[in-house]
Structure 1
Amino acid sequence: MAPYSASAQTAPVQVVEGQVLNAHTNEPVPFATLGFPGRGLGTVADEQGRYLLRLPPNLSDTLVVTSVGFARTTVAPAALARGQRVFQVAPLAVALDGAVAEHARMHPAQLGRSTATGDLPWTGGSSGKETVDDEWGWELGAILRPAHRTYLEEFHVFLSANTYEQLRFRLNLYTLENGRPGRPLLTKDIQLTCTNKARGWHTIDLRPYALELAAQPVVVTIQWLQSEKTAPEDKYFSIPVTRQRQQVMVERENSEAVWTLHPLQPSLYFTVLEE
């Protein structure tokens, strides 16, 4: 990739900054995502809900602000033009169903691809760039098809390369609609942090969340939330993928970009209890 150069841009890029707040408490919403539907424009806020967002000139698209456990919020172009930079998102009311897994009726299983090698590495990162926050929000995942009712115990993803001192990802689950990710299923913000350029398998313990999947297709992704900004121009990470006949792997640039499908499968999987 060529390094960023202001003179190489055909039009100036406007950089705006602001904050995402909880509409009920006025507290910051950590790692909220911001993006324009169908466009490759978006970012992720930091721990204090603060963001930097790059806008093209004459923007006429609606901005969408989202976070796990909060209602999807839209911001009209006119509000952006007036200088609105603080956005409030309302928390969703979550009803607990009190479901309890009867472990005596369950058996251990795996859901996904648990092989550490692949046909090629699928690479994300900021190599060739002086900034990285406009890359945050990128998602990669796979379509999974549980055959029985399933309880998720752990999530695993393999990094074959990692040159970051810190990488933060969010775990997302979606319904499968028309062959692509649809409605988000998680109500808790489940994250994975990788430090010290660590490679190999990385694991999230999901038992505290009591996550249950029905016997129907689902999409799991990891979403890049954050990484250190020191010298980001030579930073990247890779996940092994293997070729498939079917469109199994899903990817998008940010939280509101168009999903693309690939005849590949990444090295990520769940360990589960299955009926």
Structure 2
Amino acid sequence: MKKFLLIFSLLVVSYVGFCQSRQLTGEVKSSFTNHSLPYVNIGISNKTVGTVSNEKGEFRLDLNEKVSPGDTVLFSCIGFKTEKYLVSDLSNQEKVIFLMPQSTVLDEVVLSAQKLKLKPKSIGRSSKGLGLMHSNFYSYYEKDVDDRLSKERGMKFKIRRACYLQDLNFNITSNDFKSLKFRVNIYKVENGLPTDLIINQNIIFEIKDTYLGWFKVDLQPYDIYIKDGIEEIAVTIQWLESVKTRANSKYFALSTASSLTHTAYFRDKAMDSWKDSGQNLSFYLNAMCE
């Protein structure tokens, strides 16, 4: 009986401690170099709990009422093996998470514009439209801009032919930020939703000084070649970091329009489930295609 009471007491203390600590903090590093890893995706699947590590590899993961001590936190970064930790293992103390490098074997691709007879092609919506609708990176429920860390917005593109991606363009309709850092993610599409990444480099860009209008991300340095046979891809931009112009800065949005034939993708946290909607963002690729 005493043994049972001791075990019960320990469980109660552990649970109370978990309830009192609704935030996990720590740092992510490479196990090979011991260097900090910036902008690592961190989250719990399907619990709307996620974030990214900052430029120094530090993270703060806020937990909600859906999370239990037995849930698994995933740490994912391009070029590294995904690590898994129980919430209970990360609670009540700051942790250093080490990720192991992962070698990526890619098919060798030799491009010759003359041999392949590549032609320029624009894929997506290159019009602002009337500017009556906006796809927002904020919501009424978000209290602070850090609530948006790891959030993604993007589009499904039909490729159909082998293409070499040159740049990504999108139209910004509101922007309250001195600096914004995003990451371009490119995914396979299976059963109508994004799945695995098909790039092996972080594509990070910065938007400065409350910039409005069309913004271009140069993709040519990354040699992104979409092979023939991949008919659909999802391209998103993911919120990584921001500097406000004012204490109450909140707004950042892209122009969009309702559509019965196009699909926009979004998720509010890393590792969360993807959602789709019948929208057509002012969001397009320039490419050289067969």
Same fold (TM over 0.5): yes
Match of 1:259 in 2: 274
- Report the secondary structure of 1:266's partner residue: coil
User: What is the match of residue 17 of structure 1?
Assistant: 25
Equivalent pairs, count: 265
More helix, by proportion: 2
Pairing of 1:119-134 with structure 2 (within 5 A) = 119-125=132-138, 131-134=144-147
Deviation at 1:77, TM superposition (A): 2.9
Bigger mean CA offset, 27-36 vs 98-107? 98-107
Structure 1 unmatched runs, 5+: 1-10
SS across alignment from 1:134? helix
Structure 1 residue matching 2:248: 3-state secondary structure:
helix
**What is the CA–CA distance in structure 2 between the aligned matches of 1:102 and 1:257, rounded to whole Å?**
39
RMSD: 2.1
- Give the TM-score taking structure 1 as reference length: 0.89
2:105 maps to which residue?
95
Please point out which of 183, 186, 190 is paired with 2:203: 190
Say yes or no: does 1:86 pair with 2:72: no
Percent of aligned pairs with the same amino acid: 26
Amino acid at match of 1:38: N
What letter is aligned with 1:95? V
Deviations 1:77-125 (A, max 9, x none): 3322474622111222123544222212111111111112345011113
Distance 1:195 1:68 in 2: 25
Q: How does 1:1-275 map to 2 (within 5 A)?
A: 14-56=22-64, 58-81=68-91, 83=93, 85-104=95-114, 105-117=117-129, 118-125=131-138, 131-214=144-227, 215=229, 216-228=231-243, 231-246=246-261, 248-275=263-290
**CA offset digits 1:147-183 (Å, max 9, x no partner):** 2111001111211111111111100011111110011
Residue 7 of structure 2 corresponds to: none
State the partner residue of 1:5: none
Q: Which moved more, 1:209-218 or 1:121-130?
A: 121-130
Query: Who wins on radius of gyration, i.e. which is larger?
Result: 2
> Which consecutive unaligned segments of at least 5 residues does structure 2 have?
1-18
1:231 CA drift (Å): 4.6
TM-score (norm 2): 0.84
The 8 Å contact of residues 156 and 234 in structure 2, kept in 1 or not, is answered as yes
CA contact (8 A) 1:248 1:261 kept: yes
Cα distance in 1 between the residues matched to 2:64 and 2:222: 40
Conserved 8 A contact 2:257-2:279: yes
